[in-house]
Amino acid sequence: MRDGIAILGMGCRYPGGAHSPEALWELVCAGRNGISDRRRLGRPAGVLDDLAGFDAAFFGIASGEAAEMDPAQRLLLEVTFEAIERAGLDLDALSGTATGVYLGLAISDYGRRHLLAPSGPLTPWSGTGTFLSVAAGRIAYLLGTHGPAISVDTACSSSLVSLHLAASALRAGECDLALAGGVNVVLSARVTAWLASLGALSERGQSRPFDASADGYVRGEGAGMVVLRRLSDAIADGDPILAVIAGSAVNQDGRTNGLTAPSGAAQQAVIRAALRSAGLQPGDISYVETHGTGTPLGDPVEIGALRAVYGEIDHPLGLGAVKGNLGHTETAAGVAGVIKAVEALQRGIWPPIAGLSAPNPRLGALGPLVLPTEPIPWPGDSPRVAAVSAFGMSGTNAHLILSAPPPRPAPGAVEAPAWGEG
């Protein structure tokens, strides 16, 4: 019998004051966004307020070493420890355990500025504070854990791929607990200018997924982490279960019209593979947190893939797009979608898509697909099951299936299989 993967705790930092899963949900449900006109990047962006603030002493890190650390590493420590505490776990008790760490992150703007500068002093911490590989290793080091510690870069799908790898490792017995997520810190105006040259960024400075006026995305910063455990173990120990990863899949576009061009066929394939992984049919899904970048090319391709998979279901399928609230947080985008979807499952609400006023006519007929412009109560009384997509400009795609937690059995009752266990 296939074991589902329980989500026990979550921690995050996202724009607009979304410094907890609850605050992120409030931002999303209100249809607000955290995009500001601050000109750190020369154009509007969803930026975090205080990248410099960090309690080094709490983590047992010397002030000199902390000063050399990429803000991305600092954010990861903060949201990881918060997720562990929210899961009701003792930080000290993790020492010596087979706990894995799986992180999605990419180019270090801080490292390029700091370590590769032609002048300036180098210290023993100059490399460890900026290397992407060390980000995962540092978490394992501070916690004293012995499971895999892996940093993943598949561009925009990185953090969702990290959750897929963590879930796979738990099922394979490579670890007994897993910490998975991602981070994105945007410091380079040059990288931003390169993305603008590709036509990816909005000239209006707005992220408006699926809207007729959408002209690209706004870059965003953020970090999110989740604590994962095999569902059977979590139930046996009475752990708090927020949601269950019933299945997931990762694939690649291969050859397309261009290296960074999306593939509708590959998106369909990864969705179908995730459904098979979960032992579910398209009709079992009632909400999809989309990749939803708000690009003129990407949005119609994604809707076309969703329509191909879900177009024949007999009930409405709500769609979400958290990039309308946060901008595109890139390597931290997938886990943002997961946190939002978990909150939606728990609260029984389809939240609105921020910035959506009139659907893009290039999307075509939506069929059962619903683009909410206001909060909608989750329809029906069948078990709530959602999905999350993330598609990397590298061509690597990920899709993950989430279900509401199983009901706690009454004392002495025989428990029925939960979603993700069949």
**Residues in a beta bridge with 248:** 400
Distances (CA, A) of 208 to 182, 289, 304, 387, 393: 23, 15, 18, 21, 19
CATH of domain 5-236: 3.40.47.10
Helix (H, G, I), strand (E, B) or coil at 29: helix
Q: Measure the CA angle with vertex 169, ends 167 and 170; round to 5°.
A: 65
What is this structure's pTM?
0.94
- Which residues have C-beta within 8 Å of that of residue 412, sequence separation ≥ 6? none
**pLDDT of the residue at 418:** 46
- Provide the residue-wise pLDDT of the chain in tens; the chain has 422 residues: 468 999 999 999 999 999 999 999 999 999 999 998 766 777 899 999 888 889 999 999 999 899 889 999 999 999 999 999 999 999 999 999 999 999 999 977 776 666 666 667 777 787 777 788 999 999 999 999 999 999 999 999 999 999 999 999 999 999 999 999 999 999 888 889 999 999 999 999 999 999 999 999 999 999 999 999 999 999 999 999 999 999 999 999 999 888 988 999 999 999 999 999 999 999 999 999 999 999 999 999 999 999 999 999 999 999 999 999 999 999 999 999 999 999 999 999 999 999 999 999 999 999 999 999 999 999 988 899 999 999 999 999 999 999 999 987 665 554 544 444 43
Are 79 and 181 in contact by the 8 Å Cβ rule? The answer is yes
Helix axes 158-172, 333-347, angle to 10 degrees: 70
**pLDDT of the residue at 188:** 82
Q: What is the rounded CA–CA span in Å between residue 356 and residue 408?
A: 38
Asked whether the domain spanning 247-403 has the same topology as the one spanning 5-236, the reply is yes
N-term to C-term CA, the chain: 6
Are 216 and 203 in contact by the 8 Å Cβ rule? The answer is yes
| Catalytic residue annotation | 156, 291, 328
Strands 385-391 and 287-289, bridge-based pairing: parallel
Nearest to 246 by CA among 403, 37, 11: 403
Question: Amino acid letter at 356?
Answer: L
| H helix or E strand, kind and range, residue 25 | helix 21-29
Does domain 247-403 fall into CATH 3.40.640.10?
Answer: no
Are 353 and 369 in contact by the 8 Å Cβ rule? The answer is no
Distances (CA, A) of 408 to 19, 55, 154, 284: 30, 38, 37, 22
Question: Amino acid letter at 253?
Answer: D
Q: What is the dihedral of CA 214, 216, 218, 220, to 10 degrees?
A: 110
**Residues in a beta bridge with 407:** none
**pLDDT of the residue at 410:** 60
Are 17 and 34 in contact by the 8 Å Cβ rule? The answer is yes
Nearest to 77 by CA among 47, 96, 57: 57
Burial 166-204 (b: 16+ CB within 10 A, else e): bbbbbeeeebebbbbbbbbbbbbeebbeebbeeebbbee
Q: What is the rounded CA–CA span in Å between residue 371 and residue 300?
A: 13
**pLDDT of the residue at 419:** 44
Q: Where do the structural domains in the chain lie, given as residue ranges?
A: 5-236, 247-403
- Which residues have C-beta within 8 Å of that of residue 49, sequence separation ≥ 6? 17
**pLDDT of the residue at 108:** 75
